[in-house]
A and B are shown apart, each in its own frame.
Chain A
Amino acid sequence: MALVGESVRTVTREEVARSITGSKRHIGGMLFVAGTVVALMGTLVVLFVLIAQLITQAWPVITGRGVGFLTDGLSSRPSTIGVWPGLYGSFAIGIIVLIVAIPLGVAAAVYLEEYAPPTKVTRFIVINIRNLAGVPAVIYGVLGLTIFVGWLEPVTSGRTILAAGLAVAVLVLPIVIITSTEAIRAVPGGLREAGYGVGATKWEVVRDHVLPYAAPGILTGIVLSLARALGEAAPLILVGAITGLLPETSLNGPFTALPMLVYSWSGRPSAGTEVDWANVAAAAGLTLVVLVLLFNAAAIVMRNHFERKRNGL
């Protein structure tokens, strides 16, 4: 046997197998591994091509207009159009999500993890939230149209950013709840026990011990849900974002947001060598992708930072 007489060296599993069975390399096995590698490479290549195509198409706009693209308003010509109304709209939606979905979501998570008795009702609420997380975005759009544009018209003035923001807030609410739940669950029980041990009430333990400990995880969840909220377009279409000309941005009038601009500009003609709609659509799409990536990266950085801080203590 080949192993006998060998000097000290690492023997791999494969070599043992081969020497035991005495056969040559297993073609089927190698094909299988190759297959998985192809799958991986394929995924990476697609991502690469997507980003590359986006950047190449957006390039004339980036080099030609620069920051102007971000500050100019809508117009009829791709050479003068900018995404400012979209940025404004997306920004406003983000604020509404922050104000509405975050407190509600974190509060619900706190209740579920700290207060809720293990009854059927609680189980029902948990299942319900998991279901909501899987509901397609367009359904939240329908909800937004009927309730926020329709029933709540006195408050939202109909098809406005407020209604759209609320629809998106409801959409990300389950995500906030789920991520906050996980963050709170990770808090060690000893911390709570210590609090109770010195006579604190449940709320005091939560407020002063559990929440601060879970805060990094909760923050990460918030940032991730904001990233998700930024990219959603279906609810905006249903609530009625404008895709034509929009002169100014306001909270209680016609509105638009970044994903809507990408959607609407993608459908316009792409012809000729000068900056055309395909270019500005790509530029708007790139802006959106960069924003989303920034948020996601911020979440990762925050998570690492707090983990290090906690472990280094």
Chain B
Amino acid sequence: MNLIDLSGDKRRLRRDARMQVALRTAALVSVVISALILFVLVRGAVDFLTKIDLGQLVDSGWYPRRDRFGLSTIVVGSVIVGGIAMLVAVPFGLGTAVYLAEYAPSRVRSVVKPVIEVLAGIPSVVVGYFALRFIAPEVVGRLFDPTQPRNMLVAGIGIGILVVPIMAAVSEDALRAVPASLREASYGVGARRSTTVIRVVLPAAVSGIVAATIIAASRAIGETMVATMAGGLDGSGPFSASPLEPGLTMTAAMTNAAGGSDQVQAGAPFLVLFFTGLLLFMVTMGLNIVGDRFVRRVREKY
């Protein structure tokens, strides 16, 4: 035996090297995709901005076909709908997570967790249908007096329901990540379970809970179908800050911008799709990055 024998079969080594290149290319595809997304959005956004004058962006009301692109309308729409969604998702999601992590006997847990996963799997179109055909007439229509059956409150509630599972899942992870030693120390000094939970576990899990909220908010703002189906405005409309009035989110504005004619691809009403998309992308990316940082902080702590 000498060194030459130990150096390995040339053919197998070559194949190994080829595979490495192939696999690395596959991984790099994801980078290409990101780059493409940014390129497409930025190019379209720049095209759009050159076609309009910036004053049009501070108009009141979003009327793309009239060349009126009042950003405040769709941004406020997204904020109101997203805000209502979080008002629904945080109490229900966090409450469920606390119960599952701290109080539920394991049998209850093993039944409830799959059920929540079912809710997580329901496609957003179906939740949109539910919002349109149930929440709008039976819930919002009965309890409030909206000007139109489809409005921002309906969309907000629908998106809230959609986002509860994410809120619950990430919060629960955060709560379970709190070491048993902390809880036991608390019991050791005579605290009740609820005191322990409120004063020890929750504060310890705050990073994770904040992460859950941010991730859920990002999902809520990026949600398209429920906002389009139940939000109330089909692509254009006046500015409104009242949840009981119909509204337009950034995502709904995008679905409607794309639904227009393809031939006027160079026109502002179509190009606004990219501008709005870029805005949406930056907002959700920002939220995701911040949320991620909180998640990592949780992992580091424990």
Contacts and interface: CB of A to CB of B under 8 A. Distances in A.
Q: Do chains A and B touch in the complex (CB under 8 A)?
A: yes
Interface of A: 13-14, 16-17, 20-21, 26, 28-30, 32-33, 35-40, 42-44, 46-47, 49-50, 53-54, 57, 103-105, 107-108, 110-112, 114-116, 124-125, 128-132, 134-139, 141-143, 145-147, 170, 173-174, 177, 199, 201-204, 206, 227, 230-234, 237-238, 240, 259, 262-263, 266-267, 270, 278, 281-282, 285, 288-289, 292-293, 296, 300
A136 B280 contact: yes
Given A108-B23, A177-B30, A266-B229, A233 B125 contact: yes
B151 to A, nearest CB: 16
A108 B127 contact: no
A110 B21 CA distance: 12
* Central interface residue in A21, A134, A293, by most chain B CB within 10 Å: A134
Interface stretch (B55-63, B67-75, B187-195, B235-243): B187-195
Given A20-B190, A285-B126, A292-B122, A138 B255 contact: yes
B41 interface: yes
Given A33-B103, A203-B16, 12 more contacts: A29-B194, A33-B193, A40-B112, A111-B20, A136-B222, A139-B41, A142-B40, A146-B44, A227-B121, A259-B125, A266-B128, A285-B129
Contacts of A130: 288, 292
Contacts of B23: 107-108, 110-111, 114-115
* Central interface residue in A16, A230, A237, by most chain B CB within 10 Å: A237
A136 B27 contact: no
B36 A143 contact: yes
21 contacts: A13-B193, A29-B192, A39-B91, A39-B95, A39-B98, A42-B95, A43-B164, A46-B161, A47-B118, A47-B119, A104-B29, A108-B27, A111-B26, A130-B292, A135-B284, A138-B251, A142-B277, A233-B123, A266-B132, A282-B133, A296-B117
Nearest to B112: A40
Given A108-B23, A234-B225, A131 B34 contact: yes
A6 to B, nearest CB: 19
B168 interface: yes
B92 A174 contact: no
A26 B192 contact: yes
A46 B164 CA distance: 11
Contacts of B124: 231, 233
B55 to A, nearest CB: 26
B285 to A, nearest CB: 6
Contacts of B117: 296
Contact of A131 (B192, B198, B288): B288
A227 B224 CA distance: 18
Interface of B: 8, 12-13, 15-16, 19-20, 22-24, 26-31, 33-34, 36-37, 40-41, 44, 91-96, 98-100, 102-103, 112, 114-119, 121-130, 132-134, 161, 164, 168, 187, 190-195, 197-198, 215, 218-219, 221-225, 228-229, 251, 254-255, 258-259, 262, 273-274, 277, 280-281, 284-285, 288-289, 292
A282 B129 contact: yes
Nearest to B13: A201
A237 B61 CA distance: 24
A207 B164 CA distance: 40
B279 to A, nearest CB: 11
A125 B31 CA distance: 6
Given A44-B112, A50-B130, A131-B34, A33 B194 contact: yes
B99 A36 contact: yes
A43 B119 contact: yes
Contacts of A138: 222, 224, 251, 254-255, 277, 280
Nearest to B134: A53
Given A20-B190, A199-B8, A262-B125, A54 B130 contact: yes
A36 B125 contact: no
A292 B92 contact: no
A300 B40 CA distance: 38
Given A39-B95, A111-B27, A263-B128, A13 B258 contact: no
B223 A136 contact: yes
B95 A141 contact: no
B15 A203 contact: yes
Closest 7 CB pairs of A and B: A39-B95, A231-B123, A136-B222, A29-B194, A107-B26, A111-B23, A36-B99
A50 B115 contact: no
A229 B224 CA distance: 15
Contact of A40 (B24, B44, B95): B95
A230 B123 contact: yes
B288 A136 contact: no
A304 B16 CA distance: 33
